[in-house]
A and B are shown apart, each in its own frame.
Chain A
């Protein structure tokens, strides 16, 4: 069932090494990740052949529309998908250790300690029955073996660090007593309290207002700067990626179609989908210009074409696109398009 790698893994990691200084060993390296959902009646592939790596202290953005496989990829990294029906194949190497082959007990000790995760909707991610401070302290009690008192002190410190006023009072409050922005801060406090080396943030600002979004992103970047915590930021918003990430991956229909430094991706996209997406975003300074529409729709999981998955909607499609497109590397970038060297694609700057 798994597709042959055809060199895409190597291409990706080599590209990275040249882009980062010297031979920095990646903190997280994902090789050939394939995620299937299998049951008796159907068998669909949600993520195909995903390979990427994150260097220590790096911020990597993963952008795509809903259904592009970004959340499923993130969840599968920490083995948070229910299995069955999910089947995850490939390698997820954290400092060389494959998370996918660890025992349930071992992976539990990694979650929250080495790799933490925050989600879009803090109301559903927090337990409504426990005070928020208690929930933060739990992580320390489990991973750090702290006493109840010491854990409380550390939890209050964490609340203060994420900019919550009156942290000692907030410690005893319940999630419903906090505003959306505050809840998201509590989630972040919970995630950073054990000083993880990688934070996976799945649409952390989608449910909050734009002024709160700016605050949350500032906070994440500040933590990244101060503690050297790497961030995998998953979002549908290219603007958020532009403002907070160094590198980015564009996802489409379960595949990474392009990756590279954010500025390059924005100014000179190599994949027609990245380019189309950039033209479709309304921006304040392009007002008055018509927005580019992308004809057609994302193919359903059960009807994925064997070749380029964007082909049916791509204005540059040709015969050769019906064949499987491997990730081709160009310097520190990668693109899953056979015509990347002949196409002149429109970027964010019109």
Chain B
């Protein structure tokens, strides 16, 4: 994964480009109010890179991935995949396009059909897209199952006969069958125990190196995203607050929300290596039906001023590739006491080089 941040951006066209994407859902019993699940996000994913999207529940991160997967119709905005606008093409073309974008979900149990054997499930995408003969599909499926660490015995079983970790491996194998360029991973390790989580995360890294996949990796867990992603976008209430390379975001957060997320993360380090500053955000995430005016984070922001209520902060680039939506980015001092920064044993920067 080393230097992939640079590799993706430097030499290629974006694989996926999302521009001003909005997804609004109607509210039952009201014609005027809408749930603004995603309210104007723009980002790019480059070939072979991992873009992590982090946010709390209700931030709209899953809806972004669902829109990219064409599982929900966006209210406004454009999504380009390899230069083609996804929502402007014919249904036939769209269906054909879908094979290049595959998805892995959080709960592997509900993602697999309980009435199909594992083998059938993994063959299904190729069957739907009419690739190869039945025998070829079965052979290919087995190859992939073996690649993710399962055997022919597992292939003959039904989902309920496998453990959570094994089922997640099956979902990953199934997502790989059509050799996608982009994999949308929606909280794929959140339902797993620590040991399994480590296995699956390592598997994601290996598969990326092997197949040159790009991931849009959605999670609520900052430490997971820090391990897997090259760049992270921080979402709050349907908008991106900050976007940049992982090191830049964690070492030099420019948005107060990012800073709060980093500080709220419990760290499994002995007390003498932790800084004891525990300034935590107050209150809950507001309702996406009636988001705050101006900056959406202002109701919980410790630095909010009157300007934040009046003006929507501009999405601007504070340093190369580091985007932020805050009036005071660069002016307020953030990230001075990140947990674990004192950790002398590991130098994060040097570890990556």
Q: For chain B, which range describes its interface: under 10, 10 to 19, 20 to 34, or 35 or more residues? A: 35 or more
Q: Contacts A284-B223, A293-B202, A349-B345 given: A65-B194 contact, CB under 8 Å?
A: yes
Task: List, in ascending order, chain A residues with CB within 8 A of B269's CB.
Answer: 242, 266, 283, 348-349
Contact A211 B261 (CB under 8 A): yes
Bound CA span A287–B227, Å:
5
Chain A 189-216 near chain B by CB (<8 Å), digits 1 or 0: 0000000000000000000011111110
Contact B268 A215 (CB under 8 A): no
Partner of A289, one of B222, B262, B346: B346
Q: Is B310 an interface residue (CB 8 A)?
A: no
Partner of B201, one of A263, A291, A348: A291
Q: Which of A50-58, A141-149, A274-282 contacts B (4 or more CB under 8 A)?
A: A274-282
Q: Is B352 an interface residue (CB 8 A)?
A: yes
Bound CA span A266–B281, Å:
27
Q: Is A159 an interface residue (CB 8 A)?
A: no
Q: Contacts A287-B352, A349-B270 given: A282-B195 contact, CB under 8 Å?
A: no
Bound CA span A35–B193, Å:
23
Task: List, in ascending order, chain B residues with CB within 8 A of A282's CB.
Answer: 197-198, 201, 221, 223-224, 226-227
Q: Is A288 an interface residue (CB 8 A)?
A: yes
Q: Is A286 an interface residue (CB 8 A)?
A: yes
Contact B195 A286 (CB under 8 A): no
Task: List, in ascending order, chain B residues with CB within 8 A of A218's CB.
Answer: 278, 280
Q: Is A133 an interface residue (CB 8 A)?
A: no
Task: List, in ascending order, chain B residues with CB within 8 A of A240's CB.
Answer: 266
Chain B 235-278 near chain A by CB (<8 Å), digits 1 or 0: 00000000000100010000000001111111111111110001
Task: List, in ascending order, chain A residues with CB within 8 A of B262's CB.
Answer: 284
Q: Is B125 an interface residue (CB 8 A)?
A: no
Task: List, in ascending order, chain A residues with CB within 8 A of B273's CB.
Answer: 349
Bound CA span A348–B273, Å:
10
Partner of B281, one of A215, A236, A287, A290: A215
The smallest C-beta distance from A205 to any residue of chain B, in angstroms, reads 9
The smallest C-beta distance from A236 to any residue of chain B, in angstroms, reads 7
Partner of B193, one of A66, A182, A238, A266: A66
Contact B266 A283 (CB under 8 A): no
Q: Is A243 an interface residue (CB 8 A)?
A: yes
Bound CA span A277–B194, Å:
7
Q: Contacts A182-B284, A280-B195, A288-B352 given: A242-B268 contact, CB under 8 Å?
A: yes
Q: Contacts A218-B280, A263-B270, A288-B2 given: A239-B202 contact, CB under 8 Å?
A: no
Contact A276 B195 (CB under 8 A): yes
Q: Is B146 an interface residue (CB 8 A)?
A: no
Task: List, in ascending order, chain A residues with CB within 8 A of B227's CB.
Answer: 282, 286-288, 291
Contact B266 A239 (CB under 8 A): yes
Contact B202 A267 (CB under 8 A): no
Helix, strand, loop or mixed for chain A's interface? helix
Task: List, in ascending order, chain A residues with CB within 8 A of B205's CB.
Answer: 290
Partner of B348, one of A215, A285, A292, A348: A285
Q: Is A297 an interface residue (CB 8 A)?
A: yes
Question: Which residues in window 177-235 of B have CB below 8 A to A?
Answer: 193-195, 197-199, 201-202, 205, 220-224, 226-227
The smallest C-beta distance from A93 to any residue of chain B, in angstroms, reads 30
Closest residue to A218 on the B side, CB-wise? B280
The smallest C-beta distance from A309 to any residue of chain B, in angstroms, reads 14
Partner of A284, one of B57, B265, B282: B265
Contact B202 A285 (CB under 8 A): no
Partner of A210, one of B201, B250, B261, B340: B261
Closest residue to A66 on the B side, CB-wise? B193
Q: Is B343 an interface residue (CB 8 A)?
A: yes
Contact B265 A209 (CB under 8 A): no
Task: List, in ascending order, chain B residues with CB within 8 A of A180's CB.
Answer: 57
Q: Is A181 an interface residue (CB 8 A)?
A: yes
Task: List, in ascending order, chain A residues with CB within 8 A of B193's CB.
Answer: 65-66, 236
Q: Is A350 an interface residue (CB 8 A)?
A: yes
Q: Is A343 an interface residue (CB 8 A)?
A: no
Task: List, in ascending order, chain A residues with CB within 8 A of B222's CB.
Answer: 210, 284
Contact B346 A350 (CB under 8 A): yes
Q: Is B304 an interface residue (CB 8 A)?
A: no
Task: List, in ascending order, chain A residues with CB within 8 A of B195's CB.
Answer: 65, 276-277, 280, 293-294
Q: Is B341 an interface residue (CB 8 A)?
A: yes
Contact B264 A213 (CB under 8 A): yes
Task: List, in ascending order, chain B residues with CB within 8 A of A179's CB.
Answer: 284
The smallest C-beta distance from A278 to any residue of chain B, in angstroms, reads 7
Contact A263 B271 (CB under 8 A): yes
Q: Contacts A285-B343, A349-B273 given: A211-B281 contact, CB under 8 Å?
A: yes
Q: Is B1 an interface residue (CB 8 A)?
A: yes
Q: Is B293 an interface residue (CB 8 A)?
A: no
Bound CA span A211–B56, Å:
8
Question: Which residues in window 146-190 of B have CB below 8 A to A?
Answer: 163, 165
The smallest C-beta distance from B217 to any residue of chain A, in angstroms, reads 12
Contact A181 B270 (CB under 8 A): no
Contact B265 A278 (CB under 8 A): no
Contact B281 A214 (CB under 8 A): yes
Bound CA span A64–B268, Å:
14
Task: List, in ascending order, chain A residues with CB within 8 A of B1's CB.
Answer: 288
Q: Contacts A242-B269, A287-B246, A287-B348 given: A214-B280 contact, CB under 8 Å?
A: yes
Partner of B267, one of A239, A288, A292: A239
Chain A 258-276 near chain B by CB (<8 Å), digits 1 or 0: 0000111011000000001
Q: Is A237 an interface residue (CB 8 A)?
A: yes
Question: Which residues in window 291-350 of A have CB below 8 A to B?
Answer: 291-294, 297, 348-350
Contact B280 A211 (CB under 8 A): yes
Contact B270 A281 (CB under 8 A): no
Q: Is B334 an interface residue (CB 8 A)?
A: no
Bound CA span A293–B165, Å:
13
- 25 of the cross-chain contacts (CB-CB < 8 Å) are A209-B56, A211-B260, A211-B281, A212-B284, A215-B280, A215-B281, A215-B282, A218-B278, A237-B266, A237-B268, A241-B268, A266-B270, A280-B195, A281-B198, A282-B223, A284-B226, A284-B262, A286-B227, A287-B226, A287-B250, A291-B198, A293-B195, A293-B202, A348-B270, A349-B273
Top 5 A-B pairs, shortest CB-CB distance: A239-B266, A291-B198, A263-B270, A209-B56, A214-B264
Q: List 14 extra interface pairs beyond A286-B346, A297-B165, CB under 8 A.
A: A66-B193, A209-B220, A214-B264, A218-B280, A237-B266, A262-B271, A266-B270, A282-B197, A283-B223, A283-B269, A290-B202, A291-B227, A292-B198, A294-B195
